[in-house]
């Protein structure tokens, strides 16, 4: 199974690319993107992305490095903020990126669906020593999104292919505007059993692909020293003149120059077949329920011969679903 993707080099004019760096600095303060445990009854207490976390811990990442859990956590607790949501600009200056014509055309090409509706633009910033575990993104279905159900469940749903009729195909454009060492974007366009493609995070370049279907991650951002032990609640702050610091309340725990940071901006958009499909999504006229989702998955486990007898307790069922349907690429 081969997945279409498109590359952009350059993505923006030199002036617009400089403006993205300026925008990053003007925004000024970035919170940590960390996952709260899921409170849903199905899989209660599991991390939202239990699938990706467990694979990272088991495999030690793409290069099979074994480290203590708190170090692995620090490596993957990166910084994120939103610049736009839907069509709404949350931070002035993001407009050329939000409305990029090349992204729209590539989105149409990836899914063959012409009605493109921007969903979100956000920044990810990784500091030296950080990396992003290999994963697929959280997909969305009519009636099933991250506001209603645990994230791992929607990832299971997509990999099972049992809910394709309800899926909302999404694309992601990822662009880089920093000049760090390392931090390559790694993806598997031929599927989990195919070879990875390694893309340098080169300034003012981008890729657009279906990150809900294509496994991807970020290799480690170059670091000379020990991993700073980042914890949820810390912030990355621009101190002026391209100097940045990580702060735990008012305490500075690390300082960086701009060219040590990995700054990427992501654009996500829904791709609808036609306006009728978009309207059904907006009106919730054909939504899935949690009972229907779980019944379908359990029936499929039985049909595969993986389940006999009673349905397991919710957390056991959750772990079985993750193991059964989400087949990660092997470590290098």
Residues that bind Fe ion (CB under 5 A): 137, 211
- Cβ proximity to Fe ion, 81 vs 137, nearer residue: 137
| Least Cβ distance, residue 9 to Fe ion (angstroms) | 21
Judge contact between 166 and 143, C-beta under 8 A.
Answer: yes
- Residue 238's Cβ-count burial label (10 Å; 0-12, 13-18, 19+) is middle
| Least Cβ distance, residue 151 to Fe ion (angstroms) | 12
- Cβ proximity to Fe ion, 149 vs 185, nearer residue: 185
How many residues make up the chain in this entry? 332
For the chain, helix (H) and strand (E) counts, in that order, are 9, 15
| Least Cβ distance, residue 95 to Fe ion (angstroms) | 24
- Cβ proximity to Fe ion, 77 vs 211, nearer residue: 211
| Least Cβ distance, residue 211 to Fe ion (angstroms) | 5
Distance CA 206, CA 9 (A): 7
- Cβ proximity to Fe ion, 17 vs 133, nearer residue: 133
| Least Cβ distance, residue 41 to Fe ion (angstroms) | 27
- Residue whose structure tokens are 């595969």: 304
- Cβ proximity to Fe ion, 186 vs 297, nearer residue: 186
Distance CA 215, CA 91 (A): 30
- Cβ proximity to Fe ion, 38 vs 211, nearer residue: 211
| Least Cβ distance, residue 187 to Fe ion (angstroms) | 9
- Cβ proximity to Fe ion, 137 vs 140, nearer residue: 137
Strand stretches in the chain, DSSP E: 6-8, 29-32, 79-85, 88-89, 115-126, 132-135, 170-176, 185-187, 197-199, 205-209, 216-218, 235-240, 243-248, 251-257, 262-272
| Least Cβ distance, residue 212 to Fe ion (angstroms) | 9
Q: 10 Å Cβ neighbour count for 265?
A: 24
For residue 54, give the H/E element and its range. helix 50-59
**Residue 47, by phi and psi: left (phi above 0), alpha (psi -120 to 50) or beta?**
beta
| Least Cβ distance, residue 274 to Fe ion (angstroms) | 28
- Cβ proximity to Fe ion, 30 vs 215, nearer residue: 215
| Least Cβ distance, residue 137 to Fe ion (angstroms) | 4
- Cβ proximity to Fe ion, 138 vs 234, nearer residue: 138
CA angle at 259 for the pair 80 and 264, rounded to the nearest 5°: 30
Q: Can you read off the two tokens belonging to residue 241?
A: 């003149």
Judge contact between 132 and 31, C-beta under 8 A.
Answer: no
Nearest to 319 by CA among 42, 35, 57: 42
């Amino acid at each position: 199974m081969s997945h279409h993707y498109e590359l952009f080099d350059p993505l923006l004019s030199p002036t617009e690319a400089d403006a993205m760096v300026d925008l990053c600095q003007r925004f000024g303060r970035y919170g940590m993107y960390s996952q709260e445990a899921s409170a849903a009854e199905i899989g209660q207490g599991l991390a939202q992305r239990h699938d990706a976390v467990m694979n990272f811990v088991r495999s030690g990442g793409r290069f099979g490095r074994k480290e203590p859990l708190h170090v692995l956590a620090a490596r993957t607790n990166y910084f994120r903020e939103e610049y736009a949501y839907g069509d709404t600009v949350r931070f002035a200056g993001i407009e050329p990126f939000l409305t990029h014509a090349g992204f729209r055309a590539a989105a149409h090409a990836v899914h063959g669906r012409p009605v493109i509706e921007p969903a979100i633009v956000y920044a990810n910033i990784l500091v030296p020593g950080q990396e992003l575990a290999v994963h697929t993104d959280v997909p969305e279905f009519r009636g099933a999104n991250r506001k209603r159900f645990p994230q791992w469940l929607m990832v299971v749903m997509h990999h099972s292919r049992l809910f394709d009729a309800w899926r909302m195909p999404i694309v992601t454009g990822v662009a880089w505007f920093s000049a760090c060492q390392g931090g390559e974007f790694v993806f598997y366009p031929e599927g989990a059993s195919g070879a990875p493609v390694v893309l340098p995070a080169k300034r003012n370049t981008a890729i657009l692909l279906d990150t809900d279907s294509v496994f991807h991650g970020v290799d480690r951002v170059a670091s000379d020293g020990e991993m700073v032990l980042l914890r949820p609640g810390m912030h990355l702050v621009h101190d002026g003149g391209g100097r940045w610091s990580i702060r735990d309340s008012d305490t500075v725990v690390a300082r960086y120059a701009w060219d040590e940071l990995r700054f990427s901006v992501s654009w996500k958009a829904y791709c609808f077949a036609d306006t009728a499909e978009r309207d059904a999504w907006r009106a919730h006229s054909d939504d899935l329920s949690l009972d229907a989702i779980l019944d379908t998955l359990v029936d499929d486990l039985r049909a595969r011969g993986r389940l006999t007898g009673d349905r397991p307790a919710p957390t056991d069922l959750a772990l079985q679903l993750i193991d059964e349907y989400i087949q990660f690429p092997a470590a290098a």
